[in-house]
C-alpha cells in the first residue's frame, strides 16, 4: 500500500528559491555528485549541500561536505576507515546529523540514493528539517542476500523508502515494474525515470585517427557476474586474428590476485594493462578515449541486479567508444536500437565475433562511434535533471 499521500504537496514554483540537501555515495561512478554539480553551477538554486560517504568497495575512503551558493562551492572532508557493514552505515548517519547541526538549515528538498540515508531523510522530514524527500534508486537488488530473512528485511526497507518518500527517481522503468509485482503500490505521478547522467564535459573524444585500432577497455567491477572470465576465455581467439590486441582494465577495487594469476597462466600478460582505480576524472576520461571498444559483459544470472540498474556503458558512449554489451542491462536495447555498438548473448563466440568486427571493420566502427556520441547527448545532466524537476513541478 502507498503510505504516503497520493499527491505530494505542490513544489515551490522556482528552484532558485529552494535549499536542496543531497546525501549519499561520493563514488566517482555515483550520480549524486553530478546532481550537486548541476545545481551548484550558477544561480540555479538558493543553496545546495552535498554530504557524501564512501561505498563498501571504494578505495578512496572519506566523508565530505560540499556547500554551493551563488556559483561558489566550499568543501570539507574527513578520512574514513574500512567498511564494517551496518556499523559503517550508522557512522554515515551520525556524520550526516553532525554536519546538519553545523549547517543549521531547513531544506525544501532532500535527495538520497542509499536506503539507510533515505530513511534518514524520512526522519528529518518528520522533524520538519526537510520538506520533501526523493529516493533515487540506482541499483535495485531483488535478491541481494542469500539469507531469506535478511533479504526479506532488505526488500521491506526498499518498500518503506519507495512508499513513504515524496518522489521515487528510478534509473530504469523495470524497478517500478518489479515493485508492482511484489505488491508495492506507489502513485504513478510520484515515480520518475531519472537515469544516471553524463556531464557535458564528459562527452569528449579523440579523432578517429588517434584511437589505436586493437584497443579494448573493460571498466568496472571484475568480480563474478561481470564477464571478466568470459573475456579471458575469448581473448586467445581474438589475438589469433588480431595479434596486437590490448585490453585495459580499470576497476573501483583492488585487482584480484587470482585474476592476475589466471592471466599469467593463459600467457596473456603482454595483452593486458591493469590500471586498477583511476581516481583523477580527467585522467580516466583520457584513458577511455584511447580505446576503440568498451565491454559491459554482465552475466544473465537469476536475480542479477543489473536488470534493474544503469550501465557502465554510458561513460564509453560519452567518449565515442563502441560498446559490446550483453542483453541484461536495459540500456542494451537503446544501444542496439541506435547502432552505438553490438549487443550479444553471454556467449564466447558472439563476443569474439563482435570484438573482431569492431577492430577490423573501420566503416562499421565509425558508424557505431558516431551513433555513440549522439546517444550520449541524450543522457546529458542538464537534460536529465531539468526534465526531472519540471515533472516535479519545479521551474528552473
Residue 1 has a pLDDT of 45
Residue spans of beta strands (DSSP E) within the chain: 19-25, 47-53, 62-69, 72-79, 107-112, 130-137, 167-170, 191-193, 215-219, 246-250, 272-276, 293-296, 322-326, 341-344
pLDDT tens for the chain, 396 residues long, are 445 444 555 544 799 999 999 999 988 778 999 999 999 998 899 999 999 999 887 778 999 999 999 889 999 999 999 988 889 999 999 999 999 999 999 999 999 989 999 999 999 999 999 999 999 998 888 888 888 998 899 999 999 999 999 999 999 999 999 999 999 999 999 999 999 999 999 999 999 999 999 999 999 888 888 999 999 999 999 999 999 999 999 987 788 899 999 999 999 999 999 998 887 889 999 999 999 999 999 999 877 888 888 878 999 999 999 999 999 999 999 999 999 999 999 999 999 999 999 999 999 999 999 999 999 999 999 999 999 999 999 998
Domain boundaries, the chain: 15-197+380-391, 201-377
User: What does the alpha-carbon distance between residue 215 and residue 210 come to, in Å, rounded to a whole number?
Assistant: 11
Kindly tell me the sign of the dihedral angle through the C-alpha atoms of 329, 330, 333, 339.
negative
DSSP per-residue string spanning 162-179: HHHSSEEEESSTHHHHHH
Which pLDDT belongs to residue 30?
83
Q: Do 15-197+380-391 and 201-377 have matching folds?
A: yes
Does residue 109 contact residue 85 with C-beta atoms inside 8 Å? no
The residues pairing with 133 across neighbouring beta strands, listed in sequence order, are 110
Dist. CA 133–CA 290, nearest whole Å = 41
Confidence (pLDDT) at 362: 97
Q: What is the pLDDT of residue 224?
A: 87
- Cβ atoms of residues 270 and 243 within 8 Å: no
**CATH superfamily for domain 15-197+380-391:** Glycogen Phosphorylase B; (3.40.50.2000)
Assess contact for 348 and 152: CB atoms under 8 A.
no
Question: Contact, 24 vs 117, CB < 8 A?
Answer: yes
Architecture of domain 201-377: 3-Layer(aba) Sandwich (3.40)
Query: In the Cβ-directed half-sphere of 216, how many Cα atoms lie within 13 Å?
Result: 31
**What pLDDT was estimated at residue 8?**
56
Three-state DSSP state, 360 = helix
Amino acid at each position: 500500500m502507498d503510505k504516503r499521500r497520493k499527491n505530494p504537496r505542490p513544489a515551490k514554483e522556482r528552484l532558485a528559491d529552494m535549499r536542496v540537501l543531497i546525501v549519499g555515495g561520493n563514488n566517482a561512478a555515483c550520480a549524486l555528485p553530478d546532481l550537486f554539480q548541476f545545481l551548484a553551477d550558477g544561480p540555479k538554486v538558493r543553496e545546495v549541500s552535498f554530504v557524501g560517504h564512501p561505498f563498501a568497495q571504494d578505495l578512496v575512503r572519506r566523508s565530505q561536505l560540499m556547500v554551493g551558493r551563488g556559483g561558489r562551492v566550499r568543501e570539507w572532508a574527513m578520512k574514513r576507515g574500512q567498511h564494517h557493514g551496518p556499523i559503517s552505515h550508522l557512522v554515515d548517519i551520525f556524520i550526516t546529523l553532525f554536519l546538519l547541526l553545523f549547517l543549521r538549515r531547513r531544506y525544501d528538498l532532500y535527495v538520497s540514493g542509499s536506503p539507510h540515508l533515505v530513511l534518514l531523510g524520512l526522519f528529518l522530514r518528520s522533524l520538519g528539517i526537510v520538506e520533501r524527500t526523493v529516493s533515487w534508486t540506482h541499483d535495485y537488488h531483488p535478491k541481494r542476500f542469500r539469507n531469506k530473512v535478511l533479504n526479506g528485511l532488505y526488500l521491506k526497507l526498499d518498500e518503506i523508502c519507495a512508499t513513504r518518500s515524496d518522489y521515487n527517481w528510478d534509473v530504469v522503468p523495470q524497478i517500478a515494474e518489479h515493485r508492482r509485482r511484489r505488491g508495492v503500490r506507489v502513485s504513478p505521478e510520484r515515480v520518475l525515470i531519472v537515469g544516471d547522467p553524463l556531464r557535458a564535459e564528459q562527452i569528449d573524444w579523440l579523432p578517429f585517427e588517434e584511437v589505436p585500432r586493437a584497443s579494448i577497455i573493460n571498466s568496472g567491477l571484475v568480480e563474478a557476474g561481470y564477464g571478466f572470465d568470459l573475456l579471458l576465455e575469448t581473448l586467445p581467439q581474438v589475438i589469433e586474428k588480431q595479434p596486437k590486441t590490448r585490453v585495459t582494465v580499470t576497476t573501483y577495487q583492488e585487482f584480484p590476485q587470482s585474476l592476475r594469476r589466471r592471466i599469467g597462466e593463459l600467457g596473456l600478460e603482454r595483452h593486458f594493462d591493469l590500471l586498477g582505480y583511476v581516481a583523477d576524472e580527467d585522467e580516466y576520461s583520457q584513458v577511455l578515449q584511447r580505446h576503440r571498444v568498451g565491454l559491459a559483459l554482465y552475466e544473465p544470472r537469476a536475480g542479477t541486479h543489473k536488470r534493474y540498474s544503469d550501465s557502465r556503458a554510458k561513460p564509453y558512449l560519452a567518449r565515442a567508444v563502441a560498446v559490446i554489451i550483453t542483453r541484461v542491462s536495459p540500456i542494451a536495447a537503446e544501444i542496439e536500437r541506435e547502432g552505438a555498438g553490438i549487443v550479444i548473448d553471454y556467449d564466447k563466440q558472439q563476443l569474439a565475433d563482435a570484438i573482431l568486427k569492431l577492430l577490423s571493420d573501420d566503416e562499421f566502427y565509425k558508424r557505431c562511434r558516431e551513433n555513440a556520441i549522439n546517444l550520449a547527448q541524450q543522457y546529458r545532466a542538464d537534460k536529465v535533471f531539468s526534465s526531472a524537476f519540471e515533472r516535479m513541478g519545479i521551474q528552473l
